[in-house]
Amino acid sequence: MPRVSIPYGKRQIAIDIPDANFCEVLYPNAVEFPADESVEIRWAIENPIGTPDLEELAFPGCRVAILCDDISRPTPTDRILPILLDKLHRAGVSDDRIVIIMALGSHRPMTAAEIDKKVGRQIRERIAVFNSEFRDKTRLVELGIAPGGVRVWADKRAVAADIRIGLGSIVPHPAVGWSGGAKIIYPGITGEETVATFHLQHGRVPWNMWGSDKSPVRQDMERWVDTVGLHFIVNVVCTPRGRIYKAVAGHYIKAHRAGVEYAKHLFGVKARGRVEIAIVSSYPADWDFWQAGKGLVSGDFLVKDGGTLILVTPCPEGVGPHPDFMRLVGRDDIEGLLDQTKSALHAGGDPLAVSVAAATARIRKRVRVALVSEGLSSRDATEAGFIKFSSVELALVDALASHGPSARISVLPYGGEVYPMVSAQQQ
């Protein structure tokens, strides 16, 4: 009987899978890591793709805003920043002309301890670090209408800079196919109305865009970026535990696309086919359900219609920043959900939750979702249309009773980042 260990927050859960049912475990692919990560990062910054050298873009005395993803992402920002700052110093930019902005999108503000961990305490003591603003329009600036009629509000401190540099990692993403690149601007540092438009684009696409090269949401997002301006990016491809595989730098589209190809090498895992039961850990996207839903999106590729997806996620911060999210996921009227979005924005509602819930509800309607989580209550699960279990073992017993003794079982230990690739012939 195979025993499979999956991450659950800071610990591991061991699961025994019956031999007769076991199909496969899908880990990130084995790749060759650089001997020295700092050399990999420095080489990328010194050899940008699609832009001039950063020392040509920056100039003595210019104001620089470095936009970083938040603690919910694995980007080892503390290892990138010293090399990037050294490059800026050589361009004549002093520390007092640089700000670091944690690009939160709609996520909660980072704590001081989280910022210290993310950027490094020594850097935080040298350079001003701020959380981006999302709702307070006195801290946002309106930049007009972007292509497609999108009204753009963005963080004033980011907009005030002469040069904006985005730092992030490239992993599969539910809305834009792959994270990184322009996403540090949209939704990273934009206001609620603009972020809501981004998520509405996601909600209206009726297919799973996780790992897609052709996400219409990314294509629209990249058309909006020049309204704010993103001059340079540094993106890494790293394991769920932060070990760097590759780094790219330069233009927010050209460098990003090169990074996506590396990301596919690590995260694009060929599956044997769809199964009746998939056990999916949402790790490393597991601090709240707003993030943990990525485990549903990745696991969606593995489960047959009507099958069972067992989502295993601790969610120590509960549902997350959108308290109505679970109730919205449980709605069957998906198009009705989306129709609420415009009115919700003007009536004090939560258009972001409506839009993401629509995409999650499509998965919940196609497959049966069993939830194993200490941070989410039975009420949370019931509202979302899930079935809550106190352990993976109990969820698995129930799933086998539903699908029969010959049901096949696959395991996805890193569902927050792995992209299971199933061909049309295997579905």
Q: How does DSSP assign 201-253, residue by residue? A: HHHH--S--TT-S--HHHHHHHHHGGGT---EEEEEEE-TT--EEEEEEE-TT
Q: Residue 201: what pLDDT? A: 79
User: Regarding beta strands 232-238 and 244-250, do their DSSP bridges make them parallel or antiparallel, or are they unpaired?
Assistant: antiparallel
Is the peptide bond preceding residue 74 cis, with omega within 30 degrees of 0?
A: no
CA distance 73 to 173: 11
CB 413 within 8 A of CB 259: no
Secondary structure of the chain: what % helix, strand, coil (to 5)? Answer: 40, 25, 35
CB 410 within 8 A of CB 23: yes
CA angle 164, 165, 167 (to 5 degrees): 145
CB 343 within 8 A of CB 349: yes
Q: Residue 346: what pLDDT? A: 52
Residue 312 three-state SS: strand
Q: Residue 426: what pLDDT? A: 58
Q: Which helix (H) or strand (E) holds 382?
A: helix 378-384
The two counts, helices (H) then strands (E), for the chain are 15, 20
Q: Per DSSP, which regions of 123-204 are E strands? A: 128-131, 140-146, 150-155, 163-169, 172-173, 177-178
CA distance 416 to 284: 6
**Whose CA is closest to 269, among 254, 255, 280, 257?**
280
Kindly list the averaged pLDDT for each block of 10 residues, start to end, along the chain of length 427. Answer: 92 96 97 97 98 96 95 89 97 97 87 93 94 87 85 92 97 95 92 79 87 92 91 96 95 98 97 97 95 97 98 97 92 78 58 85 96 98 98 98 97 97 69
**Whose CA is closest to 163, among 44, 45, 56, 82?**
56
Q: Which helix (H) or strand (E) holds 357?
A: helix 351-366
Residue 191 three-state SS: coil
Q: Residue 155: what pLDDT? A: 93
For residue 137, what is the DSSP state? G
Q: Is the dihedral of CA 268, 295, 312, 10 positive or negative?
A: positive
* Residue whose structure tokens are 């959900």: 337
CB 255 within 8 A of CB 248: yes
Q: Residue 105: what pLDDT? A: 82
CA distance 373 to 315: 7
CA distance 204 to 182: 20
- Phi, psi angle pair for 400, to nearest 5°: -65, -35
CB 361 within 8 A of CB 337: yes
